[in-house]
Amino acid sequence: MPPALLVGVLMVVQFVLTSNNKLGTTGKKTGTWLEEFIAPYYNLIDSGYDVSIATPAGGEAPIDPVSEQQIYETELYARFVNDELLKNRLRNTIELKYISDSSISALVYPGGHGPLWDLKSDPHSIALITKMLNSNKPVATICHAGCVLLDVVNDDDSPFVSGKHLTAFSDSEEAEVEMLDIVPYLVESELKKLGAKYSKGDNWSNYTQVDGNLITGQNPASAIALAEKLKENLKASSGA
């Protein structure tokens, strides 16, 4: 399939993954939740989009080991296991500070617990999100990665999420996985404190929200739907 084009320019979707592999002080490993990355990744590349992968620290992007177990017997996981190109890209991600908004068409932040510790307040992430939104380019977050929006502000320093219709991993889902006493904050609660018009579906169900160029998904089950909505946005912006 030929690469997707935006007015004659190759569409590049920039994925930003966490560099954090430590689950707080538990001694357990964390990272990106694999399904939230590879489901939209393959959806996009199969549709002809070019994809780039960055992390705050560059180099290897840690994957939450539990997330591999969750999809171990699926065709999606089998494709990943046999994809040496993608695994090499995950070992050699671009350092986030080198990503320019002018060279990409969209931003996607997969979740997992890892982003809670490093991406929320990362200055390069905040600056990139701000520039993308100011350039009317889409920003998409999945699950816990809704945290990357918490420190983004408008020109008047008001919270960007205030008044925005969005979703993210719910407090009830966090309770169900028994992480309330481990995570540094609850994404749903923090978004609401800032005035976001947060909504959610049933626990673990596919639920997405679109507010202008902001596209958000609640959990892993929402990853494919989020990719589809992102493609709709990109096609609309190109007049296709």
CATH, residue 32: 3.40.50.880
Q: For residue 180, give both structure tokens.
A: 């309330």
The number of domains in the chain is 1
* pLDDT value of position 106: 98
Strand bridging mode 5-6 / 9-10: antiparallel
Residue 2 — very low, low, confident or very high, per pLDDT cuts 50/70/90? low
Find the mean pLDDT for residues 184-204.
Answer: 98
- Residues whose CB falls within 8 Å of the CB of residue 109, separated by 6 or more in sequence, listed in order: 15, 16, 115, 119, 139, 140, 141, 142, 145, 148
* pLDDT value of position 7: 45
The domain in which residue 185 lies consists of 5-238
pTM of the model: 0.96
Find the mean pLDDT for residues 70-88.
Answer: 98
Find the mean pLDDT for residues 53-76.
Answer: 98
Q: Where does the chain have alpha helices with state H?
A: 34-46, 65-70, 75-81, 84-91, 115-118, 123-134, 171-176, 187-193, 223-238
